[in-house]
Amino acid sequence: MKLRTFLMSTVAAAATLAFTAPAALAQQAAYKSEYRLSLVLGTAFPWGKGGELWANKVRERTQGRINIKLYPGVSLIQGDQTREFSALRQGVIDMAIGSTINWSPQVKQLNLFSLPFLMPDYAATDALTQGAVGKSLFQTLDKAGVVPLAWGENGYREISNSKKPIKSPDDLKGMKIRVVGSPLFLDTFTALGANPTQMSWADAQPAMASGAVDGQENPLSIYQTAKLHTVAQKYVTLWGYMNDPLVFVVNKDIWNSWTPADRDIVKQAAIDAAKEQIVIARKGLVEADKPLVKQLMANGTTVTELTATERDAFVKATRSVVEKWKSQIGADLVSQAEKDIAARKK
Res. 8: pLDDT tops 60: no
pLDDT (average), residues 50-61? 98
Q: Are residues 224 and 256 in the same domain?
A: no
Residue 128 lies in a domain: yes
In this prediction, residue 255 carries a pLDDT of 98
Burial of residue 29, with CB atoms counted within 10 A of its CB: 0-12 exposed, 13-18 middle, 19 or more buried:
exposed
Q: Are residues 62 and 43 in the same domain?
A: yes
**pLDDT tens column, 22-33:** 555 555 668 999
Res. 95: pLDDT tops 50: yes
Res. 10: pLDDT tops 60: no
Residue 268 lies in a domain: yes
Residue 22 lies in a domain: no
Compute the mean pLDDT over every residue in the chain, rounded to the nearest whole number.
92
Q: Are residues 250 and 300 in the same domain?
A: no
Res. 136: pLDDT tops 60: yes
pLDDT (average), residues 279-295? 96
More confident residue, 276 or 181: 276
Q: Are residues 167 and 204 in the same domain?
A: yes
In this prediction, residue 12 carries a pLDDT of 47
Determine the Cα–Cα distance for residues 226 and 207; give it in Å rounded to an integer.
14
Residue 16 lies in a domain: no
Residue 4 lies in a domain: no
Q: Point out the domain boundary residue: 267, 282, 297.
A: 282
For 228-247, letters b (16+ CB in 10 Å) and e give bbebbbbbbbbbbbbbbbbb
Least confident of 88-102, 197-211, 274-288, 331-345: 197-211
Residue 297 lies in a domain: yes
Q: Are residues 209 and 177 in the same domain?
A: yes
pTM of the model: 0.89
Q: Are residues 277 and 327 in the same domain?
A: no
**pLDDT tens column, 226-240:** 999 999 999 999 999
Residue 58 lies in a domain: yes
Task: Please provide the size of the chain in residues.
Answer: 346
Q: Are residues 92 and 224 in the same domain?
A: no
Res. 9: pLDDT tops 60: no
Which ranges of the chain would DSSP assign to H, the alpha helix? 2-20, 22-29, 46-61, 84-90, 100-103, 122-129, 132-143, 169-172, 183-191, 201-210, 220-225, 252-257, 260-282, 291-298, 308-317, 319-329, 331-342
Helix crossing, 22-29 with 2-20: angle to 10°? 70
Q: Are residues 171 and 290 in the same domain?
A: yes
Question: Domain tally for the chain?
Answer: 2
Q: Of 61, 95, 37, nearest to 253 (Cα)?
A: 95
**pLDDT tens column, 240-262:** 999 999 999 999 999 999 999 99
CATH code of the domain covering residue 273: 3.40.190.170
Range of the domain at 119: 32-154+245-282
**pLDDT tens column, 158-201:** 999 999 999 999 999 999 999 987 899 999 999 999 999 998 88
Q: Are residues 163 and 62 in the same domain?
A: no
Q: Are residues 253 and 307 in the same domain?
A: no
Residue 141 lies in a domain: yes
Q: Are residues 187 and 332 in the same domain?
A: yes
In this prediction, residue 302 carries a pLDDT of 98
Q: Point out the domain boundary residue: 282, 302, 332.
A: 282
